[in-house]
Chain A
Amino acid sequence: MTIVAEFTIRYRRILDPKGQVVAPLPAFAQDTAEILRMYRAMTQARVFDAKAMNLQRTGQLGTYPSCLGHEATHIGVGAAMNPDDVLAPVYREAGTQLWRGVTMTEILVYWGGDERGNDFAGPRQDFAWCVPIATQTLHAAGAAMAFKIRAERRCAVAYIGDGGTSEGAFYEALNLAGVRALPVVFVVVNNGWAISVPVAAQTAAQTLAQKAIAAGIPGVQVDGNDVFAVRAAVGEAVEAARRGAGPALIEALTYRLSDHTTSDDASRYRPAAELREAWALEPLLRLRRHLLDLGVWTADQEQELQVQCAAEVESAVSAYLATPAQSTDAMFDHLFAELPAHLRAQRAAARKYAIKSSGHH
């Protein structure tokens, strides 16, 4: 017997949990201003997330999926993308959306039960949140096909979770991307849990990165709590994709420090010790240690940043809470380019029976 195929999955980490540099720093990570920009964005994502959770708990927001613990992955991916690339998110990647220019108010409007949150001012070409699992991966492949047909140097980036890799659509997207060498990068956020199902109950594969191999796509694993590693790996992948070298899959190993959503109670199924241990690996801590080691960050600056982020979040929340409700016409607006006649009658009926009081959660 002869070996006809072999594969290797590499794991990449630049900043370890203690904030020590364990691999050569890419250019962006040698630029203090750029590191601080990423650190600020990660901090802002976390402050925003805590506020969103609080709004939900006080009945001012609907069900909300926290991004706590995912900040390095979200900001690393955002920073690796070009503004004219296309993002196909799942529903947890607030950090990446914020980096790309979606506002906190827009994100709150969506989770507050109002479609206008998906009509963000920018980036206009990005997809909206995607709740049906894995379906967005095919959209990203299709977007990449459009770039390829028009010979544009752009790339599509699709997020997917560890649970999502069990869906057929995910394999179909990988297969299509591989066979057509599409400019698309799949970022698998492996946070350990698909609601109550751990990765080990989802797949017998050693890594999720290796799922790319069967589609003829390179797969790599990164420390998803290390923003340097995420940005470096995704950056190289999107750059390669844009110049026609084909797709890639990056598995970012991180941890869901929150419940699945505000409707979930992870204490029913997740060992408390596992959660405690995961906190020691969380992404902001190590980057802050690195900044302190570099001597470019102080406790005062940290305090100032926290205050600044909180103020920005408060102002976004005020704008969200002051957003006037949509009328019942909104149920019919944008269903078609032009509303057919029979729906005009239904729109009139909806106006007649409007409740008006339908407000917050």
Chain B
Amino acid sequence: MAHGWEMEHDASVVVIGQDVGANGGVFRATAGLQERFGKERVQDTPLAEATIAGMSVGMATQGLKPVAEIQFMGFMYPALDQIVNHMTRMRYRTRGRLSCPIVMRMPHGGGIHAPEHHSESTEAMLCHIPGLRVVCPSSPARAYGLLLAAIRNPDPVIFLEPVRLYRAMRQEVQDDGCALPLDASFVLREGDDVTIVTWGATTLETLRAAAELDARGIGAEVIDLATLSPIDSETILESVAKTGRLVIAHEAARNAGVGAEVAALVCEHGLYDLEAPIQRVTGYDTVMPLFKLELDYMPSARRIVDAVLLTLEL
């Protein structure tokens, strides 16, 4: 829907990727676009991720705004050379002469019984790249508003789409062309006792955990980070100043994950607000297992509740 709005209103927006044309994307995210906008503006690329990223760089520097789909995040690696060495430093190294207003969309995370390499969440590698924004919406409405913002942003944006939410969530979304702000977090639920920072599909488990905590008389403030890089530290610090406790929940592996960055920010700027050590609830530092064990890998509401209780010494 956001694709359609922006293509309608901005002739420089093009959609490229594997199976985005007649097939409308493997998750149907680009369904109907080729019929509406033709085969030049909505292109099936050859099956090659480096091609998709590299050609986006070429098109973007010459005035187009590519919205490119990588079929699954686990297949982004051939594209990384282009992303790290060109897309994200084009503006910098040409002193602003050339730039890359590109959105790279990628299905993210697990929980839908997909085959091997289809369930990864490796956003931390992307957040480490200078010059790159990394966005991960957690509801259809935020996906709409943030995708519009990503397309309108003059710099490259990675747009991670949690696959679990494609199916778990249905919501009426107003097709009004209104973008949401990038670089801003969303407070999904207010509470006074503990702050839980999360993103993507883990917001569902976190909201479930918050409801359980609420039943026990514990008020959890849930923050959807939404833009994983750069992080909106203000919203987090304000919340921690109020609650004094922080739990971070994400599906990706723990080691050097984005949760570590959130924890470091709070330690640097809000340490004296903390009344208990920060807790992280994350995927384990192992390979995302095949689907029989995937739900054991992904953070559950139970694990999040236990981590909150730890911060409250309960």
Q: What separation, in Å, do the CA atoms of A110 and B289 have in the docked complex?
A: 11
Q: What separation, in Å, do the CA atoms of A163 and B291 have in the docked complex?
A: 26
Of B26, B47, B118, chain A has the most CB atoms within 10 Å of the CB of B47
Stretch at the interface among A2-10, A79-87, A144-152, A326-334: A326-334
Which residues of chain A have C-beta atoms less than 8 A from B77's C-beta?
A: 132
The answer to whether A331 and B296 touch across the interface, beta carbons within 8 angstroms, is yes
Known: A331-B284, A350-B296, A355-B300. A195 touches B23 (CB 8 A): yes
8 Å CB interface, B34-81 against A? 44, 46-51, 74-75, 77-78
Q: Select which of B22, B114, B297 is within 8 A of A196 by beta carbon.
A: B22
Question: Which residue of A is nearest B118, CB measured?
Answer: A131
Known: A113-B291, A113-B292. A268 touches B47 (CB 8 A): no
The answer to whether B18 and A361 touch across the interface, beta carbons within 8 angstroms, is no
The answer to whether B293 and A331 touch across the interface, beta carbons within 8 angstroms, is yes
Q: State whether the Cβ of B215 lies closer than 8 Å to any Cβ in chain A.
A: no
Stretch at the interface among A164-172, A215-223, A244-252, A281-289: A164-172
Which residues of chain A have C-beta atoms less than 8 A from B44's C-beta?
A: 196-197, 201
8 Å CB interface, A79-125 against B? 91, 110-115
Interface residues of B, dominant DSSP: loop
Q: What separation, in Å, do the CA atoms of A43 and B47 have in the docked complex?
A: 31
Q: What separation, in Å, do the CA atoms of A263 and B166 have in the docked complex?
A: 14
Q: State whether the Cβ of A315 lies closer than 8 Å to any Cβ in chain B.
A: no
CB distance from B17 to the nearest CB of A (A): 11
Q: State whether the Cβ of B8 lies closer than 8 Å to any Cβ in chain A.
A: no
The answer to whether B26 and A358 touch across the interface, beta carbons within 8 angstroms, is no
Q: State whether the Cβ of B294 lies closer than 8 Å to any Cβ in chain A.
A: yes
Which residues of chain B have C-beta atoms less than 8 A from A114's C-beta?
A: 290, 292
The answer to whether A353 and B296 touch across the interface, beta carbons within 8 angstroms, is yes
Q: State whether the Cβ of A354 lies closer than 8 Å to any Cβ in chain B.
A: yes
Q: What separation, in Å, do the CA atoms of A194 and B51 have in the docked complex?
A: 16
The answer to whether B47 and A326 touch across the interface, beta carbons within 8 angstroms, is no
Q: State whether the Cβ of B287 lies closer than 8 Å to any Cβ in chain A.
A: yes
Q: What separation, in Å, do the CA atoms of A347 and B126 have in the docked complex?
A: 27
Q: Select which of A115, A166, A196 is within 8 A of B51 by beta carbon.
A: A166
Which residues of chain B have C-beta atoms less than 8 A from A197's C-beta?
A: 18-19, 44, 46-47
CB distance from B80 to the nearest CB of A (A): 12
Q: What separation, in Å, do the CA atoms of A197 and B77 have in the docked complex?
A: 21
The answer to whether B19 and A132 touch across the interface, beta carbons within 8 angstroms, is no
Which 6 A-B pairs give the minimum distances between C-beta atoms?
A196-B23, A113-B291, A166-B46, A163-B47, A113-B292, A269-B22
13 A–B contacts, CB within 8 A, in A order? A115-B289, A115-B290, A132-B75, A166-B47, A166-B51, A167-B47, A167-B50, A195-B26, A197-B19, A201-B44, A264-B26, A349-B284, A354-B296
12 additional contacts, CB 8 Å, given A196-B19, A343-B284?
A62-B113, A112-B292, A132-B75, A167-B49, A167-B78, A268-B23, A328-B293, A328-B296, A346-B284, A350-B296, A355-B295, A358-B293
